[in-house]
Amino acid sequence: MPVDVLVGLQWGDEGKGKIVDVLAPTYDVVARFQGGPNAGHTLTFDGTKHVLHQVPSGIFHPHIINVVGNGVVLDPVVFRQELKKLTDRGVNWGQNLYISRKAQLILPSHRALDRISEEARGGSKIGSTLKGIGPTYQDKIGRTGLRVGDILLPDFQERYQEAVSRHTTIAEFHGRGLEIEEFEADFFSAVEFLSTLQLTDTEYLLNDLLRQGKNVLAEGAQGSMLDIDFGTYPYVTSSSTIVAGACTGLGIAPRHIDKVYGISKAYCTRVGSGPFPTELHDEVGEQIRQAGREFGSTTGRPRRCGWIDLPALRYSIMLNGVTEIHLMKADVLDEFDEIRVCTHYQMPNGDKTDHMPDHGDLEKLTPVYESLPGWRTNLQEITDPQALPQELKDYVHFLEQHLEVPISIVSVGPDRVSTLHMA
């Protein structure tokens, strides 16, 4: 059976968690392939909001195997907190959650280094979530990191101290101390808890399941425009957020990949620093922010808001080989008389382009818009796609024509039931 992959097409926060939850009942396995607790996947059902950071979004379905892949960086403290909340809500995760032995561990000193490094940047901050993600991936690439499987070794404490010693040297270079002593007891308690879970070589688990005919949904975090290679570098995350990351982050071959679900909002948002061509600094941007409750589910930071950006979407679609698009939060635009769409960029010399340039050039470009009429309808009251207002249908058709990919789902509210499958 195939592996279908779900990726964000913008700068993250597109609503991937909800779509995984909606699609999950048709899959045997949901596997998370990159990122860490800097992700926040929000799911709403039965009137309750759930936010997941490291646990795969299929965890609410008892029949689904949930896998934390080797490409993930795992914070044991946050992971234990997540699982406790799930237990408190009656979710029995004990038998269907597996963690890769090869996933990297986020240490308290990684979080400290993240803060120290960001503060040292002064006015050129990346906009890090300060969860220790970047320093952990740095150690992974530098071949000095600790992995989940290491916690089972008799010399784990010694390995931990060696890592802290290295990190202390880096902190001292900045004239700072790590100041992690108060966090270490909680960390080691969480590590002991982690050691009781199903830690395994998940690359074997997943490939065995594929051979058994099981189908897998691979779940990414962040968005394609934050990819370490193809995003708006250096204002990106530290991992590969595109489809290619599913292969390296889970240990599956490219030949297994079938469908690629690309998730996009009906508008656009970004958290942290970096270029954002369609960003709105006016009352319209604030109206989108308030209507969409655009505040980070992990950090609580207000998100930057703007109109949808088709050159950026086309770029992400190309990189990922997207086979269908799921358009999220269309209801946020219910009150607008006019919906604007960026179709091209205008370069400083006056020429137009529909290509996504490097971020240095991106900051010099001006978005070129087309305007479409708004629908002025409460979409959350609609359960039949045929009942959608014509203006929204026209908006969807306009996007499909320009992106050359079908939009198969339109989300009109946060709940599971507010998910319309288009004909």
Catalytic annotation, residues: 13, 41, 140
In contact, 375 and 334? CB cutoff 8 Å: yes
Residue 222 is assigned to a ligand binding site: yes
Residue 100 is assigned to a ligand binding site: no
Query: DSSP for 35-73?
Result: B-TT--EEEEETTEEEEESSS-TTTTSTT-EEEE-TTBE
In contact, 342 and 307? CB cutoff 8 Å: yes
Residue 297 is assigned to a ligand binding site: yes
Residue 299 is assigned to a ligand binding site: yes
Residue 42 is assigned to a ligand binding site: yes
Name the one residue in this structure whose structure tokens are 């250096």.
234
Residue 229 is assigned to a ligand binding site: no
- Which of 40, 32, 156 minimizes the C-alpha distance to 103? 32
Query: DSSP for 221-251?
Result: -S-GGG-TTTSSTTSS-SS--STHHHHHHHT
Residue 48 is assigned to a ligand binding site: no
In contact, 411 and 420? CB cutoff 8 Å: yes
List the beta strands (DSSP E) in 96-163: 97-100, 104-105
Residue 329 is assigned to a ligand binding site: yes
DSSP label at residue 253: -
Return all residues near 340 (Cβ < 8 A) that are at least 6 apart: 307, 369, 370, 371, 372
Cα–Cα separations (whole angstroms), residue 29 to 26, 273, 423: 9, 35, 26
User: To 5 degrees, how large is the angle CA 250–CA 252–CA 255?
Assistant: 145
Residue 293 is assigned to a ligand binding site: no
Residue 331 is assigned to a ligand binding site: yes
Residue 17 is assigned to a ligand binding site: yes
Residue 243 is assigned to a ligand binding site: no
Instruction: Name beta bridge partners: 143.
Output: none
Residue 16 is assigned to a ligand binding site: yes
Residue 413 is assigned to a ligand binding site: yes
Residue 92 is assigned to a ligand binding site: no
Residue 387 is assigned to a ligand binding site: no
Residue 221 is assigned to a ligand binding site: no
Residue 149 is assigned to a ligand binding site: no
User: To 5 degrees, how large is the angle CA 244–CA 246–CA 252?
Assistant: 105
How would you label 1-22 residue by residue, b for 16+ Cβ within 10 Å and e otherwise? bebbbbbbbbbbbbbbbbbbbb
Residue 143 is assigned to a ligand binding site: yes
DSSP label at residue 140: H
- Which of 278, 256, 282 minimizes the C-alpha distance to 267? 278
Query: DSSP for 155-183?
Result: THHHHHHHHHHHHHHHHHHTT-----HHH
In contact, 30 and 219? CB cutoff 8 Å: yes
Residue 12 is assigned to a ligand binding site: yes
Residue 301 is assigned to a ligand binding site: yes
Residue 41 is assigned to a ligand binding site: yes
Residue 13 is assigned to a ligand binding site: yes
In contact, 114 and 131? CB cutoff 8 Å: yes
Residues at the binding site for GTP are: 12-18, 40-42, 303, 329-331, 411-413
Residues at the binding site for substrate are: 297-303
Residues at the binding site for IMP are: 13-16, 38-41, 129, 143, 222, 237, 301
Residues at the binding site are: 12-18, 38-42, 129, 143, 222, 237, 297-303, 329-331, 411-413
Residues at the binding site for Mg(2+) are: 13, 40
